[in-house]
Amino acid sequence: MAESPDSGSERYLRFSHRTMVALLILTIVLGGFCLAMRVAFIVVLIAQIPIGLLVAHLPSLRAVMAMAISTLTLGMATLIALFLFFSREEQDG
């Protein structure tokens, strides 16, 4: 007996999985390039424990959302602040 050809939904599922893997790799690569100062990444990693302790009393879904939003906000604020700090022009004495 011949095997049945792949259905449209199976092909779409495989395509979707490949696309998600490519998106994950792209996100990691771009994230590495965007965090070239690396200080923002370290700040975000260090802040995870205090943020986790602050939201520990919340239900799990709300705690995860609070951690995600605070992590993104802290990371972007640190990255922008460092960019502004390091890109300032040296003033002549």
Q: Is 92 among the domain residues?
A: no
Residues 65, 28 within the same domain: no
Sign of CA dihedral 52, 54, 57, 63: negative
How many independent structural domains does the chain possess?
A: 2
Q: With b meaning 16 or more CB within 10 Å and e meaning fewer, what string describes 48-63?
A: eeebeeebeeeeeeeb
DSSP-H helix ranges across the chain: 8-34, 39-54, 60-86
**Total-model pTM:** 0.54
**pLDDT at res. 19:** 80
- Is the pLDDT at 59 greater than 60? The verdict is yes
Residues 42, 27 within the same domain: no
**pLDDT at res. 53:** 92
Q: Which residue has the higher pLDDT, 57 or 76?
A: 57
